[in-house]
Chains A and B, each alone.
Chain A
Amino acid sequence: MPDGQVYVVDHVVTQPGRGREFVDRYLAEYAPGARERGMTLRDILVSPPVWFTDQSNTVIIRWSLPSAQAWWEMTWKARPDASLGVWWTAISSLVLERSRRVAAAAADVDGLCDV
């Protein structure tokens, strides 16, 4: 089994003036379930670090999982959960654009690929 932490990174550009509301709702409504699925919240970064009232904020949320196996176990719990899709749809009114990327430390890449 390959070693190496796995990171899930949500990159969100909020609708103008909705940055704080997005972060509050993400923490209150999304984060508890994500923790139950095995993810550890590492940090939430806000750029620029100003709660704009009329411009977008960029919010970068970084989760970690202990391994690729843990990533699969997380997603196997998430996929049958229809409420998650409902949540992402509901939050879309606060989001201008977003992406989710899965990453690892550079030092772990070779080990993760050696399967």
Chain B
Amino acid sequence: MFNVTRLIHLAPGAGPDALLAELRAAAHLSGATRALVEPTLPGVRNGGDILLHLRFTGSAAWTAAAPQFAAMLDNPSVVHVDGAEYSGEMNRFETERQPGTVYRTLLLRVADDTADAVAERFEADLRLLPRYVHTISAWQLSRVEKAIGASAWTHVFEQDFSDLDGLMGPYLMHPIHWAYVDRWFDFECPEAIVRDRVCHSFCRIEDIA
């Protein structure tokens, strides 16, 4: 799958409704097999006001649709966009987990001077999180092919959560997160390789594809 994510930051006071309607109409006709165009939920950090996430069977459909989306985002009400384009499939826990109702995405940049072997250990640690956090029903860790926005994002780590409590509770509170994986993000730990501010964004799952 070819995946596209845009975190759209609106100008103060700008309502999201008109842009949401435009983006949803375009997403519905884009050929995406999964399309989320939703207001972000309270609690995002650097996550924007609208989360747009499209999945295509290949990059050609996005190449065709991209100019239309770019034109919509070239809009006085849009002050900033972070985003990523990347390939990969969601990993799903089909049977033993509750289906997802909240989609979360994390855009991050691994420091340029990080050795490949270290980056691979970091990725392996991120992959541990879905195993231990039982409110995750699907997930994907991807290296970014094209980044836009505040940083040259290198990775997207995304999940479907059972609900908002599943993101704000078990995901944050399981020791696999705060006692193990977080050291890669914590500049007080010598292992830290994610030094730029991350984008942590989430919205309800309402697939309009």
Listed in ascending order, the chain A residues whose CB lies under 8 Å from chain B are 1-2, 6, 68-69, 71-72, 75, 78-79, 84-85, 88, 97-104, 109, 112-113, 115
Contacts and interface: CB of A to CB of B under 8 A. Distances in A.
Contacts of B182: 75, 102
Interface size class of B (residues with CB under 8 A): 10 to 19
Interface string B174-202: 11001110110011111000000000000
A102 B188 contact: no
B188 A88 contact: yes
B172 interface: yes
B88 interface: no
Nearest to A85: B187
Nearest to A108: B175
Interface of B: 132, 169-170, 172-175, 178-180, 182-183, 186-190
Instruction: List 7 tightest A-B contacts by C-beta distance, closest first.
Output: A102-B179, A115-B170, A115-B173, A100-B189, A112-B175, A85-B187, A115-B174
Given A113-B132, A115-B169, A100 B190 contact: yes
A88 B187 CA distance: 9
Contacts of A85: 187
A101 B186 CA distance: 11
Contacts of A69: 173
Nearest to B190: A98
